[in-house]
Structure 1
Amino acid sequence: MTTIRLWSDAEVEGHPAVKAVFDDIRTTRRSDFINNFWRALANDPAALARTWDSLKAVMLAEGPLDPLTRELIYIAVSTANGCSYCIHSHTAAARAKGMTDAQHLHLTAIIGMAAQTNALVTALQVPVDTAFLIES
């Protein structure tokens, strides 16, 4: 259960700043669907606008990583942070961008392997090899 009120479309209509962001989300995504993350953030219109602008800049703007790769990274980070909502949301987004079942299974294997080796290195406090350090 949520710890904050999720805004309805009727409530959004009465708040121009929130409505502007929701309208931009709908236009940008070419969908009428506004997910619960944005509905929760509507309680803080400044945070809503700032987060949407940042997400567009990182996830939607042109860049050296293709959209599917960005979603795969988002899934991996969300898994590491234990964010079930984000895992589900970005898995759906990755599937919409063409992720196959085989790619998803390979991704989860990589996430599991990284979690295992990260835990081992942390527990053993293995020093970083000088060959991995970037020289100034």
Structure 2
Amino acid sequence: MATVRLMTDAEADAIPAVKAVFDDIRETRGTNFINNIWRALARDPETLKRTWSQVKSVMAVPGALDPKTREMIYIAVSAANACSYCVHSHTAAARAKGMTDAEHGELLQIIGLASMTNALVTSLQVPVDPEFEATQ
């Protein structure tokens, strides 16, 4: 259960700052659907606007990574951070962008492997090899 009441479309329409963000989300994504995260954040219009602006600037613009890859990275980070909502929403988004069952399966294998080896290296406090240090 959310810690705030999710904002309805009627409520959003009555607050110009929220309506503007909701309209931009719909236009950017080409859908009338507004995710619950945006409905929760709408209770604080400045946080809603700032968060949407950041998400849009990374996830909804052309770049070196294709949209499906971006969504798959978001799934991995969300799994590492134990964000169930984000795992679900970005898995749906990745599937909508063409992620196959085979790709999802490999992604889950990589997430599991990285989690295991991260825990081992952290618990052993293995020093970073000098060859891996960034050079200027």
Normalising by structure 2, report the TM-score: 0.98
| Deviation readout 1:90-136 (Å, 9 max, x if unpaired) | 00000000000000000000000000000000000000000000122
Distance in structure 2 (CA, Å) of the matches to 1:3 and 1:134: 42
Q: Secondary structure at the match of 2:88?
A: helix
CA contact (8 A) 2:28 2:60 kept: no
Identity of aligned residues (%): 67
Q: How many residue pairs are counted as aligned between the two chains?
A: 136
Instruction: Please give the residue correspondences for 1:21-40 in structure 2 after superposition, counting only pairs within 5 Å.
Output: 21-40=21-40
Aligned equivalents of 2:13, 2:22: Cα separation in 1:
10
Q: Give the structure 2 partner of residue 56 of structure 1.
A: 56
Runs of at least 4 residues of structure 1 off by over 6 A? Answer: none
Equivalent residues in 2 for 1:90-109 (5 A)? 90-109=90-109
Q: Residue type of the partner of 1:9?
A: D
Matches of residues 106-117 of structure 1 in structure 2 within 5 Å? 106-117=106-117
Contact 2:7 2:39 in 1 (8 A): yes
TM score, norm. by length of structure 1: 0.98
Q: Secondary structure at the match of 2:27?
A: helix
Structure 1 residue 62: Cα displacement: 1.3
> Structure 2: 5+ residue runs without aligned partners?
none
Alpha-carbon distance in 2 for matches of 1:28, 1:135: 39
1:77-88 map, 5 Å = 77-88=77-88
> Per-residue deviation at 1:27?
0.8
